[in-house]
Amino acid sequence: MSRTGPNATRWSIASRTLAAALGGYALTSLATITLPLLLETIGVDRSQALITTMMAGFLMYAAIIMAVFHARSAMSAWAWLVGASLALGIVVLLLPGATA
């Protein structure tokens, strides 16, 4: 079975599309949870931190989508998304304001 045929290309594109849509959304959501908490710890007003992060979320989502399609393989794109999501999830759990 060849991994370079048209079916392999279709599966790679489908996997990248799924990674960009769902994985990108999950990573952007985690980032928009984490960044206001981080900004608050350095003294930024809570409402200002939230608005700034929400506006930056649109740019983050677009950048994540581009990064997924720029990756060498669909597997590396998924690995990058999972790794970044786990790292942000750990940061959220360790921040003091995350349980409030």
- Examine residue 78 and state whether it is found in any structural domain, yes or no: yes
28, pLDDT greater than 70: yes
- Examine residue 1 and state whether it is found in any structural domain, yes or no: no
- Examine residue 71 and state whether it is found in any structural domain, yes or no: yes
- Examine residue 18 and state whether it is found in any structural domain, yes or no: yes
* Residue range 66-77, pLDDT digits in tens: 999 999 999 999
- Examine residue 5 and state whether it is found in any structural domain, yes or no: no
- Examine residue 100 and state whether it is found in any structural domain, yes or no: no
- Examine residue 4 and state whether it is found in any structural domain, yes or no: no
User: What global pTM score does this model have?
Assistant: 0.83
- Examine residue 74 and state whether it is found in any structural domain, yes or no: yes
What is the distance between the alpha carbons of residues 36 and 51, in angstroms, rounded to a whole number?
9
* Residue range 39-57, pLDDT digits in tens: 988 999 999 999 999 999 9
Residue 92: pLDDT band (50, 70, 90) is confident
Residue 41 belongs to domain spanning: 13-95
Work out how many domains the chain is built from and give that number. Answer: 1
Residue 27: name the closest of 68, 75, 55 by CA. 68
Whether the Cβ atoms of residue 58 and residue 51 lie closer than 8 Å to each other? no
Whether the Cβ atoms of residue 68 and residue 24 lie closer than 8 Å to each other? yes
What is the distance between the alpha carbons of residues 79 and 54, in angstroms, rounded to a whole number?
25
